[in-house]
Each structure stands twice: as C-alpha cells, then as structure tokens.
Amino acid sequence: MKIGTFVKRGSALAGATVLVATSVGCAHVNREELGMELSQIRQEMSDGDRQVADQLNTRIDGVEARVDGVESRVDLLEQDLSALENRFNVTIERLEAATRVNTPIYFGFNEAMLGDDDHGLLDGFSAVVLTHFPDALVTIEGFADPAGSASYNLALGRKRAQAVRDYLVNNGKMPAHRVRAVSYGEDTARQVALGKARDEGWENRRVVMVIDHGTSVAQEGVVAARRN
C-alpha cells in the first residue's frame, strides 16, 4: 500500500474523531449526518483494502506466471543441451537456479590450450545459451590434477577456464560481461579421479560450464521495473 493511502485514511479517521468529539460538546450537531459521514469513511477504507488486495493478487499471479515461464525456458534449454550430450558426450545437471554442463574438454599435462575438437561443443553451447538465456551469467570452472603445488594448480585451472571463456566471447559472440572464469585448481572435492595425476589424471584436467539462469530472470525483472 502506498504511503499516501495511509495518510488519506489517517486524515479521514482523524476528521471523524474530531467530528465525534465536537458532537459531544455541541447540541446542534445532526446525528444523522454524523452517521452518514462515518459510514462513508468506513466505505472508503473498505474500498481501499479491496484495491490493495486486488493489486497484491495481480502481483502474485504475475510472479507465478514468470516462474512457470522460466521453468519452460529451462526445459527447452536442457532439451537443446541434450543434443550436445549425444554429440559430444557432455553430462547435464540441473541445480536450484542453474544448469551445470560437465564437458569432455580435457587438457594436456601442464597445458591450457583448447584442441580443435573442442570448438564444435563450444559453438553449440554458446548458440543454445544465447537462444534461451542470453542474459544469464555463465561461469567457466577450471580444474587441474594434483601434480605440482596447490597455488600453481589454481593458476593453471584459471588459465584453462580463461581459454574457454575467450573462445565463447570471441567466437561464440557471448557478452563478455556475462561470462566469467574461475578456478578450483586441484580441489579434492571436485576431482573426477581422486588423487590421480599426469597420465592417470587426465580426467581432472577439465572445465565445467555453469549457466546461472537465475541471474537472467533477475535482470529481466529490473528491466521490467524500469519500464513500469
């Protein structure tokens, strides 16, 4: 409810109170007119309550419609990602407000360069995201096997994530401010082959792509609010 509504109600109620108080000390007040005045004030307050309730219900309906719309878009997103799953052997996980794409993009030992075979997957990924959630925040997570120091592997994981980010921005035409690179290095909680390094640890030298579609919905809400 707007502040002005409270002020109007307060003024009306205060006026009625003054009117009642005056009537006590004045014998010439028309009680019928006083009753009509109070009845009108009560009706205005009731109409105000009804208007607020209608506005609230409208907003709730709008939120529910947006939620249903987002769910439908996420379903379409994952359907298109499934095509990549079949072609490139990716795996897809639905999170609370995001979709994680585990890729078969692996790096050579102590390397951070993409292979030519990786381009098709990244081209398809960027096309799907731009189709369904162009304003989503996409996070590229880089990983390393446990050979070398933790600090070195953290930096190496970031280089790998950055290589993917650069390709998505430069070749996939994804907005640079919507794609970020982070590193988990040799984080044991995220290793595919726990403790394995070098030839045996190739699965740990990878990247994961996370589509945060919750950020896209929030951005759309800001734009809608500005338009209104």
pTM of the model: 0.68
Domain that holds residue 207: 89-222
Determine the pLDDT at residue 23.
46
In a domain, 52, yes or no: yes
Residue 194: which CATH number?
3.30.1330.60
Q: What is the pLDDT of residues 102-149, one digit of tens each?
A: 999 999 999 999 999 999 999 999 999 999 999 999 999 999 999 999
Do residues 54 and 104 both lie within one domain? Answer: no
106 in the same domain as 13: no
- pLDDT computed for residue 228 by the predictor: 45
Mean pLDDT value of segment 159-177? 97
* Domain boundary pick from 66, 97, 120: 66
Residues 45 and 103 reside in one and the same domain: no
Residue 59 is predicted with a pLDDT of 57
Same domain, yes or no: 214 and 126:
yes
Q: Of 20, 51, 66, which marks where a domain is finished?
A: 66
**Distance between first and last Cα of the chain:** 17
pLDDT at residue 63 greater than cutoff 60: no
With a cut of 60, say whether residue 217 has pLDDT above it. no
Judge whether 160 and 103 are in contact, CB under 8 Å.
no
Secondary structure element (H or E) that encloses residue 100, with its range: strand 99-106
Q: Tell me, yes or no, whether 17 and 114 share the same domain.
A: no
* 95 and 58 within one domain: no
Task: Specify whether the CB–CB gap between 76 and 132 falls below 8 A.
Answer: yes
Whether residue 126 is contained in a domain is answered as yes
Q: Are residues 43 and 118 in the same domain?
A: no
In this prediction, residues 154-180 reach a mean pLDDT of 97
Q: Are residues 110 and 166 in the same domain?
A: yes
80 within some domain: no
Phi and psi (nearest 5°) for 140?
-100, 120
127, 84 contact by CB (below 8 A): no
Cβ contacts of residue 95 below 8 Å, gap of 6+?
A: 210
Per DSSP bridges, beta strands 99-106 and 137-143 are: unpaired
Same domain? For 109 and 188 the reply is yes
Determine which of 43-47, 92-96, 188-192, 208-212 has the lowest per-residue pLDDT on average.
Answer: 43-47
Instruction: Report pLDDT for 56.
Output: 66
Residue 75 lies in a domain: no
Q: What percent of the chain has pLDDT over 90?
A: 53
Assigned domain for 228 exists? no
Write down the pLDDT at residue 28: 55
> Mean of the pLDDT values across residues 84-98?
90
Q: What is the domain count for the chain?
A: 2
Same domain for 59 and 144: no
Average pLDDT, the chain: 81
In this predicted structure, what is the pLDDT of residue 55? 64
Same-domain check for residues 62 and 107: no
Give the model's pLDDT for residue 33. 74
Q: Domain check: are 55 and 162 in the same one?
A: no
Q: What is the pLDDT of residue 121?
A: 96
